[in-house]
């Protein structure tokens, strides 16, 4: 019952957030991706659900250019689409983090302080963090959505 109630609240929150959202606020950054920053403080699950509701996913930094692009969107430290599952960090697409072209942890991270990841926009480095704690977040449109328009 508790789970159902939590899910209902999550859906309500996602509905409110997505009704305020508009497609036009996605920004294409050449050589990186198409992103939208949400400067509302939510836990990782809500951030993840909000991006999904926009036909996007939490941003996945996998190259230097992507770290720089995501960091350019906000002065806060946004959640990204990486989470520890069964002891291994994976992207929201299911890819092992270690298989990405570029992975940059902050010094002494990950320190097992939580299973969800945010990007420190000053250091351009990753931190693990408790998933229930709140952060801003950045969504990313799947590549196929924009590459066809990119001439």
Judged by the rule CB under 5 A, the positions of this chain that interact with Ca ion are 111, 113, 127-128
- How is residue 49 written in tokens? 């659900």
Nearest approach, Cβ of 127 to Ca ion (angstroms)? Answer: 5
Task: State the Cα–Cα distance between residues 90 and 99, nearest whole angstrom.
Answer: 9
Q: Which of 26, 137 has the CB closer to Ca ion?
A: 137
DSSP H helices in 24-122: 44-53, 64-71
Q: Which of 128, 140 has the CB closer to Ca ion?
A: 128
Nearest approach, Cβ of 111 to Ca ion (angstroms)? Answer: 4
Q: For residue 87, what is the DSSP state? A: T
Nearest approach, Cβ of 84 to Ca ion (angstroms)? Answer: 11
C-alpha closest to that of 26 among 41, 38, 39: 38
- Give the nearest residue (CB) to Ca ion: 113
Q: Which of 10, 134 has the CB closer to Ca ion?
A: 134
- φ and ψ at residue 119, rounded to 5 degrees: -105, 120
């Amino acid at each position: 019952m508790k789970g159902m109630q939590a899910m209902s609240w999550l859906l309500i929150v996602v509905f409110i957030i997505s009704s305020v959202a508009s497609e036009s606020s996605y920004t294409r950054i050449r050589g990186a991706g198409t992103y939208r920053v949400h400067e509302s403080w939510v836990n990782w699950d809500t951030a993840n659900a909000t991006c999904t509701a926009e036909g996007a996913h939490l941003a996945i930094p996998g190259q230097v250019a992507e770290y720089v692009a995501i960091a350019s969107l906000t002065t806060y430290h946004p959640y990204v689409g990486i989470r520890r599952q069964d002891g291994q960090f994976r992207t929201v697409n299911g890819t092992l983090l270690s298989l990405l072209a570029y992975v940059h942890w902050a010094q002494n991270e990950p320190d097992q302080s939580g299973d969800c990841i945010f990007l420190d926009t000053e250091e351009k480095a990753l931190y693990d963090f408790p998933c229930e704690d709140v952060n801003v977040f950045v969504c990313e449109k799947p590549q196929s959505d924009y590459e066809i328009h990119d001439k």
